[in-house]
Structure 1
Amino acid sequence: MLTAEVWSPLPLPRPPAHRQHLDPSATVTTSFPTLAHLRMRHARALRTHVHQPSFWNALARSYASHGAAPHLALGVCLHMPLRDAHTFPLAFKLCSLLSAFAEALSLHAHLVKLGLAATSVHSLNALVTLYSNFGHLDLARQLFDRIPRRIVSSWSAMIAGYDRNAQPREALFTFLGMLEAGVSPDEAALVSTLAACTHGGCLEFGKAIHACATVSGLGLESVGIATALVDLYAKCGEVDSAREVFERMVQRNVLSWSAMIGGLAMHGRAPEAIKLFDEMVEAGVRPTSVTMTNVLSACSHVGLVDQGLRLFNLMKEEYGIEPRVEHCGCVVDLLGRAGLFLEAREFISTMPTPATAAIWRSLLGAACTHGDLEAGRLAGERLAATGEEMVAGDYVMLANLYARLGLWEEVGRVRTEMNDVGVKRVAGFSSVEVDGELHRFVMGDRSHREAKRIHEALHLLNSELMAEESSSFHCEMAVFVAI
Structure 2
Amino acid sequence: MLTAEVWSPLPLPRPPAHRQHLDPSATVTTSFPTLAHLRMRHARALRTHVHQPSFWNALARSYASHGAAPHLALGVCLHMPLRDAHTFPLAFKLCSLLSAFAEALSLHAHLVKLGLAATSVHSLNALVTLYSNFGHLDLARQLFDRIPRRIVSSWSAMIAGYDRNAQPREALFTFLGMLEAGVSPDEAALVSTLAACTHGGCLEFGKAIHACATVSGLGLESVGIATALVDLYAKCGEVDSAREVFERMVQRNVLSWSAMIGGLAMHGRAPEAIKLFDEMVEAGVRPTSVTMTNVLSACSHVGLVDQGLRLFNLMKEEYGIEPRVEHCGCVVDLLGRAGLFLEAREFISTMPTPATAAIWRSLLGAACTHGDLEAGRLAGERLAATGEEMVAGDYVMLANLYARLDLWEEVGRVRTEMNDVGVKRVAGFSSVEVDGELHRFVMGDRSHREAKRIHEALHLLNAELMDEESSSFH
Q: Considering the TM-score relative to the shorter chain, is it more than 0.5?
A: yes
Task: List runs of 5+ in structure 1 lacking aligned partners.
Answer: 475-483
Change (3 A) 1:274 1:57: same
Does the Cα contact within 8 Å between 1:265 and 1:295 map onto a contact in 2? Answer: yes
* 2:124 matched residue in structure 1: 124
Change (3 A) 1:443 1:135: same
Does the Cα contact within 8 Å between 1:11 and 1:184 map onto a contact in 2? Answer: no
Does the Cα contact within 8 Å between 1:12 and 1:184 map onto a contact in 2? Answer: no
Deviates more, 1:183-192 or 1:404-413: 404-413
Does the Cα contact within 8 Å between 2:2 and 2:71 map onto a contact in 1? Answer: no
Deviations 1:186-230 (A, max 9, x none): 000000000000001111111011111112221100000000000
Does the Cα contact within 8 Å between 2:190 and 2:225 map onto a contact in 1? Answer: yes
The alignment's TM-score, normalised by the length of structure 2, stands at 0.92
* 2:280 matched residue in structure 1: 280
Change (3 A) 1:3 1:26: closer
Determine the C-alpha separation between the residues in 1 that align with 2:134 and 2:280: 35
Deviations 1:420-473 (A, max 9, x none): 111110111111111211001123321101112333444566688899999999
Does the Cα contact within 8 Å between 1:308 and 1:334 map onto a contact in 2? Answer: yes
Deviations 1:29-63 (A, max 9, x none): 22211111111111111111111111111111111
* 2:469 matched residue in structure 1: 469
Determine the C-alpha separation between the residues in 1 that align with 2:241 and 2:15: 25
Following superposition, the deviation at residue 402 of structure 1 comes to 1.4
RMSD: 10.3
Determine the C-alpha separation between the residues in 1 that align with 2:424 and 2:16: 51
Deviates more, 1:364-373 or 1:231-240: 364-373
Change (3 A) 1:254 1:473: farther
Deviates more, 1:209-218 or 1:2-11: 2-11
Deviates more, 1:462-471 or 1:262-271: 462-471
Deviations 1:300-350 (A, max 9, x none): 111110110011111111111111111111101100111101100111111
Change (3 A) 1:382 1:8: closer
Deviations 1:230-275 (A, max 9, x none): 0000000000000000000000000000000000000111110011
* 2:425 matched residue in structure 1: 425
Does the Cα contact within 8 Å between 1:376 and 1:401 map onto a contact in 2? Answer: yes
SS of the equivalent of 1:10 reads coil
Deviations 1:397-424 (A, max 9, x none): 1111112122222211111111111111
Deviations 1:39-90 (A, max 9, x none): 1111111111111111111111111111111111111110000000010011
Does the Cα contact within 8 Å between 1:152 and 1:185 map onto a contact in 2? Answer: yes
Does the Cα contact within 8 Å between 2:26 and 2:55 map onto a contact in 1? Answer: no
The alignment's TM-score, normalised by the length of structure 1, stands at 0.90
Does the Cα contact within 8 Å between 1:13 and 1:184 map onto a contact in 2? Answer: no
Change (3 A) 1:252 1:16: farther
Change (3 A) 1:14 1:70: closer
Following superposition, the deviation at residue 171 of structure 1 comes to 0.5
Change (3 A) 1:233 1:440: same
Does the Cα contact within 8 Å between 1:2 and 1:205 map onto a contact in 2? Answer: no
* 2:92 matched residue in structure 1: 92
Determine the C-alpha separation between the residues in 1 that align with 2:4 and 2:203: 10
SS of the equivalent of 1:18 reads helix
Following superposition, the deviation at residue 2 of structure 1 comes to 46
Does the Cα contact within 8 Å between 2:227 and 2:256 map onto a contact in 1? Answer: yes
Determine the C-alpha separation between the residues in 2 that align with 1:135 and 1:65: 26
Change (3 A) 1:11 1:462: farther
Determine the C-alpha separation between the residues in 2 that align with 1:379 and 1:469: 42
Change (3 A) 1:293 1:86: same
Count of residue pairs brought into register by the alignment: 474
Change (3 A) 1:88 1:16: farther
Determine the C-alpha separation between the residues in 1 that align with 2:154 and 2:173: 15
Does the Cα contact within 8 Å between 2:10 and 2:40 map onto a contact in 1? Answer: no
Does the Cα contact within 8 Å between 1:14 and 1:185 map onto a contact in 2? Answer: no
Does the Cα contact within 8 Å between 2:9 and 2:43 map onto a contact in 1? Answer: no
Write out aligned runs for 1:56-455 (5 A).
56-455=56-455
Change (3 A) 1:92 1:473: farther
SS of the equivalent of 2:21 reads coil
Determine the C-alpha separation between the residues in 1 that align with 2:79 and 2:110: 12
Change (3 A) 1:92 1:353: same
Change (3 A) 1:426 1:464: farther
Change (3 A) 1:302 1:33: same
Determine the C-alpha separation between the residues in 2 that align with 1:472 and 1:378: 47
Following TM superposition, the consecutive aligned residue runs of length 4 or more in structure 1 with deviations greater than 6 angstroms are 1-26, 462-474
Determine the C-alpha separation between the residues in 1 that align with 2:84 and 2:78: 12
SS of the equivalent of 2:191 reads helix
Does the Cα contact within 8 Å between 2:24 and 2:45 map onto a contact in 1? Answer: no
Change (3 A) 1:12 1:310: farther
SS of the equivalent of 1:90 reads helix
Deviates more, 1:195-204 or 1:10-19: 10-19
Change (3 A) 1:350 1:109: same
Change (3 A) 1:17 1:37: closer
Does the Cα contact within 8 Å between 1:129 and 1:161 map onto a contact in 2? Answer: yes
Deviations 1:103-142 (A, max 9, x none): 0000000000001001100000000000000000000001
SS of the equivalent of 2:28 reads helix
Change (3 A) 1:358 1:346: same
Does the Cα contact within 8 Å between 1:4 and 1:204 map onto a contact in 2? Answer: no
Determine the C-alpha separation between the residues in 2 that align with 1:308 and 1:68: 34
Deviates more, 1:372-381 or 1:462-471: 462-471
Deviates more, 1:449-458 or 1:356-365: 449-458
Change (3 A) 1:23 1:95: farther
Change (3 A) 1:19 1:428: farther
Does the Cα contact within 8 Å between 1:92 and 1:130 map onto a contact in 2? Answer: yes
Deviates more, 1:465-474 or 1:309-318: 465-474
Change (3 A) 1:65 1:150: same
Does the Cα contact within 8 Å between 1:131 and 1:139 map onto a contact in 2? Answer: yes
Task: List runs of 5+ in structure 2 lacking aligned partners.
Answer: none
Determine the C-alpha separation between the residues in 2 that align with 1:200 and 1:25: 47
Change (3 A) 1:215 1:27: farther
Change (3 A) 1:52 1:296: same
